[in-house]
Amino acid sequence: MLGNLLATTLIYSAILYPIIYIFPAYAANGAPVLFGGGNPLDFKKKINGKRIFGDNKTINGTAYALIAGIAAGALESLIFGLPYLLPLSILLASGAVFGDLIGSFVKRMLGMKSGASFPVMDQYGFVIFALAFAFRAGHLPTLYGLIFILIITGLLHVLTNVGAHRLRLKSVPW
């Protein structure tokens, strides 16, 4: 009986809770692929002759990213009866958007074109910043949960981007 309880607790703390926890960041990160487009967020402004974010970071994409992340947290809060998930989702979604924008900014300043692959930053930038933004709010997953988030993020990034490319939602598979 005690062994079953420990196994259940480990599965919840290392796998299930981390998925619930990070889902608003994932929703925020994926929403621009479906709902983005329109006017560029940087209004085509430049720094040292280089675009700030590029054409792929749009006002619509940024707005829908925040909406999707917060909506995901609100829905989870209702489903799981965890009221802190709603304010946490605001931090996670904001961090995910900020991390993605930072990645684009760094790519532009390095002279990389929009859509160019930037290993590690492309896969993990949004989730690292999401976790950093949410850190002060507490309710963090366990260390094993954080490790699980990093592992699953890498796997999901490959799968979702290849899928979006095959569905012609993205021009590149990364």
pLDDT at 114: 80
| 126 confidence band (pLDDT: 50, 70, 90) | very high
pLDDT at 138: 84
pLDDT at 7: 84
- What distance lies between CA 64 and its chain's CA centroid? 13
State the CB neighbour count (10 A cutoff) for residue 126: 29
- The residue extents of the domains of the chain are 18-140
Nearest to 21 by CA among 145, 159, 156, 152: 145
Q: Please report, rounded to a whole number, the percentage of residues in the chain having pLDDT higher than 90.
A: 86
- What distance lies between CA 91 and its chain's CA centroid? 11
Q: Going by C-beta distance under 8 Å and a sequence separation of 6 or more, which residues neighbour residue 154?
A: 123, 124
Mean pLDDT score across all residues of the chain: 94
For 16-55, the pLDDT digits (tens) are 999 999 999 999 999 999 999 999 999 999 999 999 999 9
Task: Inform me whether the pLDDT recorded for 141 exceeds 90.
Answer: yes
**Count of residues making up the chain:** 174
Mean pLDDT for the stretch of residues 86-109: 97
pTM listed for this prediction: 0.93
State the CB neighbour count (10 A cutoff) for residue 106: 13
Q: What is the 3-state secondary structure (H, E, C) of 103-172?
A: HHHHHHHCCCCCCCCCCCHHHHHHHHHHHHHHHCCCCCCCHHHHHHHHHHHHHHHHHHHHHHHHCCCCCC
Query: Within the chain, what is the greatest distance between any pair of CA atoms?
Result: 66
Task: Inform me whether the pLDDT recorded for 3 exceeds 80.
Answer: no
pLDDT at 107: 96
Task: Inform me whether the pLDDT recorded for 153 exceeds 90.
Answer: yes
pLDDT at 148: 98
State the CB neighbour count (10 A cutoff) for residue 17: 19
